[in-house]
Structures are given as structure tokens and as C-alpha cells.
């Protein structure tokens, strides 16, 4: 069964959150605890087939196999960089492929996952955006990324302390791969619920971070539905500049975005918002820009993460020189903001932020989406 595309009438178990599994087992006339048992098999023991669920009776396994299956990713390529960063390219059908990246660190294993094939929001400096938008990923395609990375790392005999203690290799998930997660709201929230569910991956809300370019109404919905840690892609301290870099700003300008960020904080698992800020040479990286930014966000408890821009062909931008990134950081720190500079990982395999290109067959007229219909209803 291909990734996210159940063969025939079969339901992909990777598509179902706890409520979905409960409904399935109710339909089958089975006891509710069976749903939890199956969830453990799929997401914790990471099995790939119903037959492996050995504490279910043979009759129940046969009954299940007639209606469900486990459809993990189809891997097109799997590359490991010199620094241990590993990138998988996953086929999602129709000539499209998305990427996910594993970033090993001493005290954690982070997986950067994709939420859409392409992106309709067309940020000026982003390689995914430049490729256009094809479609939203299904919940199974989003969850399947975590499921597959854990399986692959275990199969390769990963040796880190928490795995030796029986935990999964991936301890942190960031939705910072291809796509705008809040433009694929329902599927992303279902996937988040599976990440957090104690009967599935059991990650704490602080260990799951969603990065958004600023879809204000969806930030408010997320605050109600599933408030994980939030990163907001700011990239500019005034509307004129942000309109150019992040076109969705024309619809949800900075004042609205900052107000939504502040509202989010009363439900957020951390007491600050992370503002991401990509450093573009001569565009948004002067000390004046930093001062303007500090004034703009003064009322929002936040931290800054400066991202040295990662080049891709034909982008028309340059990365800020290191000295300028350091002065920008110094200005923000002097103004009282915790400010980190993102380490660039996996450069030799194009696995760094915003270099995730995948393969996108664009079939949309994305400019109309941004200015016309809400981006959150982008094509399915
Ligand atoms: N769509 C979401 C999440 C995916 S992009 C968002 O925009 O937040 C994750 C982060 O990488 C964002 O902050 C984005 O602005 C940044 N990014 C995009 N292209 C980049 C590039 N070429 N170099 C560095 N960062 C980039
Ligand atoms: Fe989409 Fe984020 Fe890239 Fe903007 S930066 S085009 S929102 S993926």
C-alpha cells in the first residue's frame, strides 16, 4: 500500500488519531481498549503490518486486515550529511515528492517534517515557495514521516542514551519543512494530536513546534485546538518590507500577527513565542532594522532565532555576512531579547532550512489564492 494512499477500500491506520481509531473500533463492534492496543503497535512498536500485532487474536487480525493497513512512506532517496543530518525524499504521488530531515544533537533527536507538497504563499526567499503549490499532505503522510524516521533510525541501530532507555529516537518534531502547516489545518492538527497522544508518540507540547508565516485566524484556532510551541516567521520589522518578503503579510499585517502571537501565549506550552528571522544581505539585516524590530515586538514575550539565509539557484538574494548577523544579534540582545543564530546543518546535502525543494508539480495559480480565497482553503 503506497504512502498515504490506501489501496482500494483500505483505511490507512497512520491517518487516524485517537478519536478516529475509537470510531473505527466502535464500527467494528470491538471494545475501546483495542483501539489503544493497535495505536501502541503502530506508533510505539512501529510495526508495518497487522499480522505483527501478536497480542490480538487471529480472528481480530483478519477482521482488521480486511478494512485497514499501515501505509508508510515510499522513499525516493535517503542521504546522510557529514554532520549526521539525514534527509529523506518521499514520493507522495503524481510526480511530487516532499522532504524530511533528521537533526541529531547530544540531548535530542529532532525531525523536521513537511506539511504540503509545495507552498502557495510564495515567500520571496524560499525555495519551496518558488516551486508553487501542489497539494496538502494527508494526516497519514505527515504522521508517516515520524513513523518512518523512528523505524529507519532503529533499524540502523542508532545508539543514543534515550533509545537505550527504551524511548523513540525522535524526541522533538518541528513543522519547518515544506509547506505552510496552518494552510493544511485539519490534517496538521490531527497529526499533532497523534504526536502528543500518550498511546501514540507521547511527545510533550513543548517538544513539538509549528512554524507559520502568519495565518492569523488559524493561529487563533490552534490556540484553542492544540497549542503546541509556536514559531512565527517574522523576517521584517515593518509592513512595507514584510509585504515584499512574505506576501501573506498583505492580508494579515504585522499588528494583527503580533496581537495573535500575544493571544497564543496564554495557552502555549512555553512562555514565549519564537520569532524566526532570515538574514538577507542588504535587505533586512542592518542595525537599524534590528532596532526597529526590537521596538515592534516590545510587548510580546519572545525569543529571536536568526536564520542565515540558505542559498538556492536563481533566488536573487545573498546571505548576510557573519559580522552583520552578529551585530544584528548584539542589537537585539542589548534591547533585552534572547537571540540565537541557527546553526546550519546538512549543508552538503541541501538539507538546511528553506533548501528543502522536493519535487512539486504546480497546478495552482497561487497569487490568486493569496489575494482572493483564504489560503487556508487551498486546493486539496
Ligand atoms: N511555512 C512555514 C514553515 C516552513 S519554512 C513558515 O514559513 O514558517 C521554515 C522556516 O525556514 C521559516 O522561518 C522560513 O521563513 C525559513 N526559510 C525559508 N526559506 C529559507 C532559506 N532559503 N534560508 C533560510 N531560511 C528559510
Ligand atoms: Fe511557504 Fe514558509 Fe516557504 Fe513562505 S517560507 S513560501 S510560508 S514554506
The pLDDT, as a whole number, for residue 354 is: 58
Question: Which ligand is nearest the CA of 355, by number?
Answer: 1
Beta partners for 135? 117
pTM: 0.93
The pLDDT, as a whole number, for residue 346 is: 80
Tell me, using a 6 A CB cutoff, whether residue 127 lines ligand 1: yes
Tell me, using a 6 A CB cutoff, whether residue 91 lines ligand 2: no
The pLDDT, as a whole number, for residue 357 is: 62
Report residues of the chain scoring pLDDT below 70.
Answer: 1-8, 351-357, 362-380
The pLDDT, as a whole number, for residue 2 is: 46
Tell me, using a 6 A CB cutoff, whether residue 116 lines ligand 2: no
Cell 494530536: give the residue: 193
Ligand 2 midpoint to CA 126 (Å): 6
The pLDDT, as a whole number, for residue 9 is: 84
Amino acid at each position: 500500500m503506497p504512502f498515504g494512499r490506501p489501496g482500494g477500500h483500505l483505511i490507512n491506520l497512520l491517518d487516524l488519531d485517537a478519536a478516529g481509531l475509537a470510531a473505527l473500533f466502535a464500527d467494528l463492534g470491538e471494545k475501546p481498549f483495542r483501539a489503544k492496543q493497535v495505536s501502541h503497535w503502530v506508533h510505539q512498536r512501529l510495526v508495518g503490518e497487522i499480522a505483527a500485532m501478536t497480542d490480538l487474536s487471529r480472528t481480530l487480525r483478519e477482521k482488521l486486515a480486511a478494512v485497514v493497513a499501515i501505509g508508510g512512506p515510499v522513499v525516493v532517496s535517503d542521504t546522510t550529511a557529514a554532520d549526521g543530518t539525514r534527509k529523506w525524499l518521499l514520493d507522495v504521488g503524481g510526480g511530487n515528492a516532499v522532504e524530511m530531515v533528521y537533526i541529531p544533537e547530544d540531548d535530542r533527536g529532532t525531525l523536521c517534517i513537511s506539511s504540503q507538497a509545495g507552498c502557495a504563499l510564495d515567500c520571496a526567499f524560499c525555495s519551496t515557495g518558488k516551486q508553487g503549490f501542489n497539494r496538502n499532505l494527508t494526516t497519514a503522510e505527515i504522521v508517516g514521516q515520524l513513523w518512518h524516521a523512528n523505524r529507519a533510525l532503529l533499524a540502523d541501530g542508532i545508539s543514543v542514551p534515550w533509545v537505550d532507555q527504551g524511548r523513540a529516537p525522535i524526541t522533538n518534531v518541528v513543522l519547518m519543512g515544506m509547506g505552510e502547516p496552518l494552510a493544511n489545518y485539519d490534517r496538521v492538527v490531527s497529526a499533532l494530536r497523534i504526536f502528543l497522544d500518550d498511546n501514540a508518540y507521547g511527545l510533550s507540547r513543548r517538544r513539538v513546534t509549528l512554524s507559520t508565516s502568519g495565518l492569523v485566524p488559524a493561529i487563533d484556532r490552534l490556540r484553542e485546538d492544540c497549542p503546541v510551541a509556536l514559531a512565527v516567521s517574522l523576517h521584517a520589522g515593518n509592513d512595507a518590507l514584510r509585504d515584499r518578503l512574505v506576501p501573506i503579510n498583505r492580508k494579515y499585517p504585522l499588528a494583527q500577527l503580533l496581537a495573535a502571537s500575544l493571544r497564543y501565549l496564554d495557552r502555549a506550552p512555553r512562555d514565549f513565542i519564537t520569532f524566526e528571522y532570515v538574514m538577507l544581505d542588504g535587505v533586512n539585516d542592518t542595525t537599524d532594522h534590528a532596532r526597529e524590530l526590537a521596538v515592534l515586538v516590545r510587548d510580546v514575550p519572545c525569543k529571536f532565532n536568526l536564520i542565515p539565509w540558505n542559498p538556492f539557484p536563481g533566488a536573487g538574494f545573498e546571505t548576510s555576512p557573519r559580522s552583520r548577523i552578529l551585530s544584528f544579534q548584539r542589537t537585539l540582545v542589548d534591547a533585552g531579547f534572547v537571540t540565537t543564530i541557527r546553526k546550519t546543518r546538512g549543508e552538503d546535502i541541501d538539507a538546511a532550512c528553506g533548501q528543502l525543494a522536493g519535487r512539486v508539480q504546480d497546478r495552482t495559480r497561487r497569487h490568486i489564492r493569496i489575494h482572493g480565497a483564504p489560503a487556508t482553503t487551498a486546493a486539496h
